[in-house]
Amino acid sequence: MTTLDRYVLREWAKVFFLATFGFPLLVFVIDLADNLEKYMNGGISKGHLALSYVCYLPETVTLVLPVAVLFAVVFTVGGLDRHSELTAAKASGLSFHRVIRPLLVASLVAVLVDIGLTELAPVTSSRRAELLGQKQIRSDQFRNNFVYRADGGWVYAIGGLELARRAMRDVIMEREGTGPEYPTIVIAAPQASYDTARRSRGWTLSKGSVHYLVGPGHETAFTFDRLSTRDLREAPVDLLAEPKAPDEMRYAELGRYIDALARSGSDTKKLRVERALKLSVPFACIIIALFGAPLAISTPKSGAAWGVAVCLATTFVDLLMFQLSKAVGAGGVLPPSFAAWVPNLAVGAAAVWLLKNART
């Protein structure tokens, strides 16, 4: 790393960190000013309120990180051009592409950070909702009177689940059939226990009954003292998990949720776009850096106002394209995963054209 590289990175880091933490701080101040009375009337302590904003930080940073990268690149490259450092570097034999290489590496690191924060944000956002009383704090040991939709068309109605004892009560398992060749099955038992000692772990139901509903007026039933079934595969901790909104799920978790909905025949195009955006939006950091660097030198000697205008206009267009991609992907005009990457492809193509025509 040369002295010029260190200088470029230092100038980039100043703007990047100022934008990364300055914009969220502005959001926090606005939110506090709008909702302080509501928080105080709700009995939220100052400690919980402060901790809620700490939990809010990953979510806000993920939204602002591509914008922070754009501001950092535009103002760094624009400053080099205005103060003749870029001219001096070119005179010494360095091309424009070589000068901005450290900015692209730093922007790639920002992509990785943004992906990590995107995975962390659902957890911290859920915790913030609990701290502010917007969401009931879930027990990590008990769950009562709930329904769980499992794989293979099975639906469980469970009266109670206790994690410490690995036990359930009032269990009803039902799989809807289509006829005599694939009958509806209903299994009911007052108790069930989860065995961890066996080689193949699983649930054992006690003193229940099994009903095969072949058709109208045709039913076969038998009782059992103990029944082990491979269909009830979920561990107690899996059954303890409560339903979440898509934005409360991580990438892999949302993928499993989409697969489960697809097996039940639901339309999952909108959720598939949301899942793809969890990667495409962070990757926009490097695309925007490639776009902003040559754009910053398109008007020599331009001032800070030009830099702000470029950043705001690019941000507006980029956000608009991502919103359009959601609508296009959810409507089925384009494949959902491809639709989420269309804004990056469009901006990336413009970035390649600008880099190709930049004065090197």
Task: Write out pLDDT tens, residues 56-66.
Answer: 899 899 888 88
For the entire predicted model, the pTM comes to 0.70
Residue-level pLDDT at 306:
62
- pLDDT, residue 8, reads 84
* Domain limits, the chain: 3-135+267-357, 142-241
List Cα–Cα distances, 33 to 25, 51, 124, 131, 188, in angstroms: 12, 17, 22, 18, 54
Predicted local confidence at residue 292, as pLDDT: 80
Locate all alpha helices (DSSP H) within the chain, ordered by sequence: 3-41, 46-82, 85-91, 96-99, 101-131, 236-240, 251-263, 269-296, 304-331, 336-357
What pLDDT is stored for residue 172 in this prediction?
Answer: 93
Contact residues for 219 (Cβ-Cβ < 8 A; gap 6+): 211, 212, 213
- CA dist 337 and 236 (Å) reads 33
Residue 165: per-residue pLDDT: 86
Residue 232 to residue 69: CA distance in whole angstroms: 48
Three-state DSSP at 133 gives: coil
pLDDT at 207: 92
The first and second tokens of residue 287, run together, are 């695309």
Q: Which single residue is written with the structure tokens 């959902």?
A: 336
Low-confidence ranges of the chain (pLDDT < 70): 82-83, 135-140, 197-200, 241-244, 260-261, 263-266, 298-308, 310-311, 360
pLDDT of residue 191: 93
> Residue 188's pLDDT is what?
94
Q: CB–CB of 163/237 below 8 Å?
A: yes
